[in-house]
Every structure is written in structure tokens, then in C-alpha cells.
Amino acid sequence: MNPQLLFWIPAALRLTIVLLGAAAAGYFFGVTAGLAIGLLALLVLVIVQLKYLYLLSGWLDHPESEKLPDGWGAWTDVFSRLYRLRRDDERNRKDLSEWLTRFRQAMSLLPDGVAIMDDVLFLEWCNPTAERHLGLSNTRDKGMRVTNLIRDPAFIDYIILGRYDQPLTLNVRDRKLVVQIIPFENRRQILVTHDVTETERIDMMRRDFIANASHELRTPLTVINGFLEIAYAQPDLDQTTRMGHLKLMIEQGQRMQNLIEDMLTLTRLESIDYPLRKEQVNIRNLLEQLLREAEALSGGRHTITLAIDGPDIEGNTDELRSAFGNLVTNAIRYTPEGGQIHIQWSQTENGPQFSVQDSGIGIRAEHIARLTERFYRVDKSRSRETQGTGLGLAIVKHVLLRHGATLAIESEEGKGSTFMTRFPI
Ligand SMILES: Nc1ncnc2c1ncn2[C@@H]1O[C@H](COP(=O)(O)OP(=O)(O)OP(=O)(O)O)[C@@H](O)[C@H]1O
Ligand SMILES: [Mg+2]
């Protein structure tokens, strides 16, 4: 039945009984007695209501600890509904606390550190990994400002700049951490820490290994190549030995030498001990020299044009020569005879730009994103033919990275490619 009716019907019934009782008393014993009995009955009713109100107010003071009072009349319904509410509430709270326990357990098993802060960076909670990574304590530091707990200037700058879309690399107590802040729920932020010490160490070992191996291979190879040249120049050689065996050996020896030089260049570009030595780069000189080399490599098989319409920049001339040179060499290598190559230095609204456009074989879209990976070649057999090692664009990428520049590639298979390097303003 409708709860409204459940409330009003008994209340109305009770009032009716009081009124009827008072009327009957009035009829039998006179008006005064009727009024007195009616008033007395109403007084009893009011006292009973007040008693339940008092019990309810007492219960509201300690809803968890005390048993709910039994009711009378409409109060029975009120108390039973309150009882149900309390039971549901208890169940919800139990569910929530179980869920929270499970969530905390999961968080404490995470290999990454997680700390939750409010909008003004006061620590609310952190998992054991974050405690270990950042030297925090969930109990001691709760409610403290994170910038007072992590005092690294790089971290403070990160907070001040507020560019949280980028992670920050921090050195904390001999560990290398990648740290990022993720705002959520408007008024909260999560600080995530990831330990990259081991990855860095392995990376360094790999770099050192390549550097050492390349270095150790360079000297014997130079000797072998030198003697091959001497052997090639001997006058009393038969044709098969000179043009067949020796020529092939010299070509392959040269290829190995190029590969080793490229690997050494890459290692050097990656090394933190090898900072960029900046100078004013004379772009015109550099590009005219590149044009001459390109024409020599092409041997008249391509039409090569150069346009310079932009300012000089600051950078390292040798590194830029190697990067731009690779793009021009690629254009020549991967453009069939009769094709056009246009080299351009220009000023765009986003800064100076170097571009090489060719009418060559082009690159299918799925390869473009992978071109700057080491040893990545679209067509291995053709690259072998052109003596490519697949390290050229990796070197280009690293040189550009050191100059704060980016590489953009547009290409259509069969039509040609444009490689653009964009420098900061
Ligand atoms: N202009 C271009 N047109 C078509 N394909 C290209 C062009 N430039 C590069 N590529 C493709 O990208 C691959 C990677 O180029 P990258 O310069 O890194 O290596 P490579 O030229 O093969 O060797 P090297 O290390 O001697 O430069 C090439 O093997 C080629 O398949
Ligand atoms: Mg190349």
C-alpha cells in the first residue's frame, strides 16, 4: 500500500477514536467531562509522540552503537524504514571498505610508484613503491606538500611549468626515475614514478658494446682494405683475380668500413658525454658543397637544383653536413636515371626548413614511420645494390634531435619523396 496512506489512516483512526470517546463522555456525563476526557486523551497522544521523538533523537546521536527503539503506530513504520536504511548503509560501507582494501593491495603490488595529491599538491596517499622511489612515508608525510618532500630543482621546475603531458626524468638516490603528474577529478593529481635505472644500464651496455666492437673492428679492417688496394694495383695479376675476386673484396671491405663508421657516428651522437658544439653555420657554403658532391655521385644521371632562401642558423656544421648529405644521397640512390632532385633551404612561419624533393621510387605509407629505425630498409636487395646500410636516417634523426629539429616525410610510391627537416625559430 501507499506509504502515505499507511501513515495517515492509523493517525486519522486514532484521532477519530479520541473525538468519538470525548463525544460519548459528553453525552453521558455532561460537556465539561467530555471536554476534560478529550483533552486528557489528546495529552496522552502528544506525550507518546514526544517519547518516540525523544527516542529517535537519542538514536540519531549514536546511530551505529544503539539498537533502534520499537515503535508504536506510525512510528513502527518510521523505525523499520530507518533500520533498513542503516542496514543498507552498513552493507555499502562494508563493500566500499573491502573494495578499498583490494584496491590498496593491488596498488601496493604495482612495480610503479603512485602517489595521490590534492589540487595544491598535498599528499593524500602513496603506495610502497612510491615510498621507496621518492623516500616518502604514507603515515608520516600525509598532508605535507609534495614539493617540500621532493626537493629536486628539476621537479620544482616541472611543477612550476605545469607541462604535465611530458614526463620528467629525475635522479633520486642513485636511481633514475621517470616521473609524471596526471591531473584527475578536477581537484586531484596522481604522481606516477617508473624506475628506468636497469633499462638505462642495459641500454648503456648495448651502446658501449657497439662502440667497442666497432672500434676494435676499425683498425684491422683498415689494414685489410689497405692491403687489398695494394694487391689490386699489382701489375702481374690475371683478369679474373683483379676484376672478379679483388674488386669484390674491395667493395665489400668498403661497405664494412662504412657500416662501422656509421655505427661509431651513431654511438657518438647518442652519448651524453658528447654535447653539441654550436657555431654559426654558413648554410650557403654547406649546401653548395653538398650540391657539388651530389652532382659527382649522380654522374649526370639526374637534374639537381638548389634554392637558398633562408637565414643561417646555429648548429654543428659537420653534423648537419652528414644529416643533409644523407638525405641528398638517398634522393640520388632511390631516384632512377633522368629523375629530378630539388634541394631547398627556406624560411617558413614555423622556422627554417631544409628539404630534399625527388621524383624517385617513393615509399609506401606503412614504411614511413619506421624509416629512422636502425638498419631499416624498405627493399633490402636494392639497398645492398646501392651499398646502403640502413643507418643513414637513424643518424639524421639523432642529429636533428640534438638541434631541436624534426623530420617530416611525404612520399608516394612511384612518384617520389620529400624529406623536410624543420628547425626551431
Ligand atoms: N628518397 C628516398 N626515396 C625512396 N626511398 C628512400 C628514400 N630515402 C630513404 N629511403 C628508404 O629508406 C631506407 C632507409 O634509409 P637510410 O638512409 O636510413 O638507409 P640507406 O640509405 O639504405 O643506407 P645508408 O646507411 O647508407 O644511408 C632506405 O633503405 C630506402 O629504402
Ligand atoms: Mg641513406
Residues whose beta carbon lies within 6 Å of some atom of ligand 1? 262, 326, 330-331, 334, 358, 360-363, 371, 376-379, 383, 388-393, 417
CB under 8 Å to 3, separation ≥6 — which residues? Answer: 77
Ligand 1 pocket test: pick from 334, 400, 415 the residue with the most ligand atoms within 8 Å of its Cβ. Answer: 334
Band of residue 292 on the pLDDT scale cut at 50, 70, 90: very high
Domain 199-270 has CATH 3.40.50.720: no
For residue 270, CA distances in Å to 142, 160, 266, 314, 420 come to 41, 29, 6, 20, 22
pLDDT score, position 65: 61
Domains 199-270 and 279-422 share a fold: no
Grid cell 581537484 — which residue? Answer: 187
Residue 386: band (very low, low, confident or very high) from pLDDT cuts 50, 70, 90: low
291: its cell numbers: 650540391
CB atoms < 10 A from the CB of 71, how many? 16
What stretch of H or E contains 280? strand 279-281
Instruction: Determine the pLDDT at residue 415.
Output: 95
- Distance between Cα 327 and ligand 1 center (Å): 8
Which residues sit with Cβ closer than 5 angstroms to ligand 2, an ion? 326, 330, 392
Rg of the Cα atoms in the chain: 42
In CATH, which of 3.40.190.10, 3.40.430.10, 3.30.450.20, 3.40.50.720 is domain 110-195? Answer: 3.30.450.20
**Could you tell me how many helices (H) and strands (E) the chain has, helices first?**
14, 12
Lowest mean pLDDT across 173-187, 336-350, 369-383, 387-401? 369-383
Indicate the helix (H) or strand (E) that contains 11.
helix 3-29
Give the CA distances from residue 171 to residues 150, 157, 178, 225, in Å, rounded to whole numbers and listed in that order.
Answer: 11, 14, 9, 46
In this structure, what C-alpha cell is assigned to residue 15?
484521532
Q: How far apart are CA 133 and CA 112, in angstroms?
A: 9
Q: Give the pLDDT band (50/70/90) at residue 385.
A: low
Domain boundaries, the chain: 3-98, 110-195, 199-270, 279-422
pLDDT at 369 over 90: yes
Closest CA to 194 of 114, 108, 106: 114
Instruction: Lowest mean pLDDT of 44-53, 304-313, 341-350, name the range.
Output: 44-53
Atom of ligand 1 nearest to the CA of 262: 25
**How many CB atoms lie under 10 A from the CB of residue 288?**
13
Residues 207-226: what's their mean pLDDT? 92
298 — pLDDT class (breaks 50, 70, 90): very high
- Domain 279-422: CATH superfamily, name plus number: Histidine kinase-like ATPase, C-terminal domain (3.30.565.10)
pLDDT of residue 181: 93
